[in-house]
């Protein structure tokens, strides 16, 4: 089986970034003949074909603009299809990539899977982010009836799609694959160095895009309340994004420049060390698909603290492996942080439960993605 994936993750064409996407796709490649991953990139970035493994490669589009990506995608697909006939196209979103997949399916008679990595339908927070999202929503409504199958990352997203008329048998719930071995062990030396660097303070960790939907001003203001009661703590923010300058100014205004550290995007191995050095992982998002950072944090034995929503309830079991806090409840969010930072036995108990749940969650989903691909192609 030959698979052609369309997406935007530039780590798959050699760019530095957060996550383990190249390793995951190399693993998928062990079970198929070829995987070619077309990544939207701009002409000036100078990215080239990136060999991920012997039969998996990333192909940069090097497009002059997003609209012209559509034509670049057809050209690159034709070249790949000559090398080895493509059986399946996988579009990593139901918008522009989904539309590109639709036209490839129509012209070349290949099967098409559209992925929903995020919560888009019926999501008021996502619609408010920018006016363009309303156009994207309409585009997804057009694409969905034409695909052969849909992959979503959470049951809550599947429920929304079914309510909007997508056939239930067409949808498969498969979260992003994670290799537990990549998280359960860290460099003890580097973990110790991280803790020493922050003078033995108790570390609160956030990992993700610095984007409006992540609700990071809420987190920073909540942490300001923590500092009033617990001086020996600091907040580490791993990731990059359009909110970085705004967040830095907020930290400065709250006199937290020496207590909140913006570490930027880190290599996957370094992030694992920070997971193991931290006391808890926080995710105050307004909306998510199924955030794999919560599973990664669980594999590292961290208690989890997140916004109460359908996406977080799938991973966090209240009072067992972490806490869920109603959206906007800053006081409770800060009190939960304080409780976990001050109470070592509570933190240890929840961390053990977090590790156990994460292992169980992943074992029940192991190998499902490639099986899903094969089922769609053979149908």
Q: Which CATH architecture has domain 2-178+365-378?
A: 3-Layer(aba) Sandwich (3.40)
Assigned CATH class of 180-363 = alpha beta
How confident is the prediction along the chain (379 residues), in pLDDT tens digits per residue? Answer: 999 999 999 999 998 776 678 988 999 999 999 999 999 999 989 899 999 999 999 999 999 998 899 999 999 999 999 999 999 999 999 999 999 999 999 999 999 999 998 888 888 888 888 899 999 999 999 999 999 999 998 888 999 999 999 999 999 999 877 888 888 889 999 999 999 999 999 999 999 999 998 999 999 999 999 999 999 999 999 999 999 999 999 999 999 999 999 999 998 889 999 999 999 999 999 888 888 899 999 999 999 999 998 888 889 999 999 999 999 999 999 999 999 999 999 999 999 999 999 998 887 666 789 999 999 999 8
Contact 8, 47 (CB under 8 A): no
Q: What's the token pair of residue 33?
A: 């003949």
Whole-angstrom distance, CA of residue 161 vs CA of residue 123? 12
Q: Is the pTM of this model over 0.85?
A: no
Report the DSSP beta bridge partners of residue 197. none
Do the bridges between strand 50-53 and strand 56-60 make them parallel or antiparallel, or are there none, so unpaired? antiparallel
Per-residue pLDDT at 13: 94
Whole-angstrom distance, CA of residue 109 vs CA of residue 224? 56
Whole-angstrom distance, CA of residue 317 vs CA of residue 202? 23
Whole-angstrom distance, CA of residue 188 vs CA of residue 184? 12
- Tokens 């660097």 correspond to what residue? 197
User: What is the C-alpha end-to-end distance of the chain, expressed in Å?
Assistant: 13
Contact 321, 274 (CB under 8 A): no
Report the DSSP beta bridge partners of residue 42. 63
Two domains, one topology: 2-178+365-378 and 180-363:
yes
Whole-angstrom distance, CA of residue 123 vs CA of residue 104? 29
Per-residue pLDDT at 364: 63
Find, among 165, 208, 240, 236, the residue nearest to 307 by Cα: 208
Whole-angstrom distance, CA of residue 258 vs CA of residue 363? 41
Whole-angstrom distance, CA of residue 213 vs CA of residue 128? 10
C-alpha dist (Å) from residue 234 to 200, 224, 238: 10, 10, 13
Greatest distance between any 2 Cα atoms in the chain: 65
Whole-angstrom distance, CA of residue 6 vs CA of residue 25? 13
Q: What are the residue ranges spanned by the domains of the chain? A: 2-178+365-378, 180-363
3-class SS string, the chain: CEEEEEECCHHHHCCCCCCCHHHHHHHHHCCCCEEEEEECCEHHHCCCCEEEECCEEEEECCECCHHHHHHHHHHHHHHHHHHCCCCEEEECCCCHHHHHHHHHHHHHCCEEEEEECCCCCCCHHHHHHCCHHHHHHHHHHHHHHHCCEEEECCHHHHHHHHHCCCCHHHEEECCCCCCHHHCCCCCHHHHHHHHHHCCCCEEEEEECCCCHHHCHHHHHHHHHHHHHHCCCEEEEEECCCCCHHHHHHHHHHCCCCCCEEEEECCCHHHHHHHHHHCCEEEECCCCCCCCHHHHHHHHCCCCEEEECCHHHHCCCCECCCEEEECCCCHHHHHHHHHHHHHCHHHHHHHHHHHHHHHHHHHHCCCCHHHHHHHHHHHC
**Residue 332, φ and ψ in degrees, nearest 5:** -65, -40
Whole-angstrom distance, CA of residue 25 vs CA of residue 11? 11
């Amino acid at each position: 089986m030959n698979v052609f994936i369309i997406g935007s993750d530039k780590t798959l064409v050699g760019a530095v970034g957060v996550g383990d996407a190249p390793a995951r796709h190399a693993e998928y490649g062990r079970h198929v003949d070829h995987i070619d991953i077309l990544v939207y990139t701009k002409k000036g970035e100078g990215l080239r074909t990136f060999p991920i493994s012997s039969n998996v490669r990333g192909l940069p589009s090097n497009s002059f603009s997003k609209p012209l990506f559509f034509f670049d995608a057809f050209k690159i697909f034709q070249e790949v299809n000559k090398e080895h006939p493509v059986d399946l196209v996988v579009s990593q979103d139901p918008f522009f990539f989904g539309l590109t997949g639709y036209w490839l399916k129509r012209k070349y008679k290949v099967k098409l899977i559209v992925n929903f990595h995020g919560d888009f339908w019926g999501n008021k927070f996502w619609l408010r982010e920018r006016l363009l999202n309303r156009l994207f929503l309409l585009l997804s409504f057009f694409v969905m009836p034409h695909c052969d199958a849909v992959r979503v990352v959470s049951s809550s997203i599947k429920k929304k799609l079914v309510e909007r008329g997508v056939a239930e048998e067409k949808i498969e719930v498969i979260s992003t694959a994670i290799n537990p071995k990549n998280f359960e062990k860290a460099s003890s030396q580097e973990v110790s160095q991280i803790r020493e660097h922050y003078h033995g303070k108790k570390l609160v960790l956030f990992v993700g895009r610095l984007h409006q939907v992540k609700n990071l001003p809420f987190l920073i203001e909540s942490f300001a309340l923590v500092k009033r009661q617990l001086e020996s703590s600091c907040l580490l923010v791993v990731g990059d994004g359009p909110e970085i300058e705004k967040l830095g100014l907020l930290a400065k205004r709250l006199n937290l420049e020496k207590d909140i550290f913006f570490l930027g995007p880190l290599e996957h191995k370094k992030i694992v060390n920070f997971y193991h050095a931290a006391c808890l992982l926080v995710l105050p998002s307004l909306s998510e698909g199924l955030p794999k950072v919560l599973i990664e944090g669980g594999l590292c034995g961290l208690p989890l603290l997140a916004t109460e929503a359908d996406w977080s309830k799938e991973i966090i079991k209240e009072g067992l492996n972490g806490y869920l806090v109603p959206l906007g409840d800053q006081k409770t969010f800060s009190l939960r942080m304080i409780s976990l930072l001050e109470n070592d036995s509570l933190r240890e108990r929840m961390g053990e439960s977090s590790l156990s749940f994460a292992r169980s969650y992943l074992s029940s989903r192991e190998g499902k993605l490639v099986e899903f691909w094969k089922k769609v192609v053979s149908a």
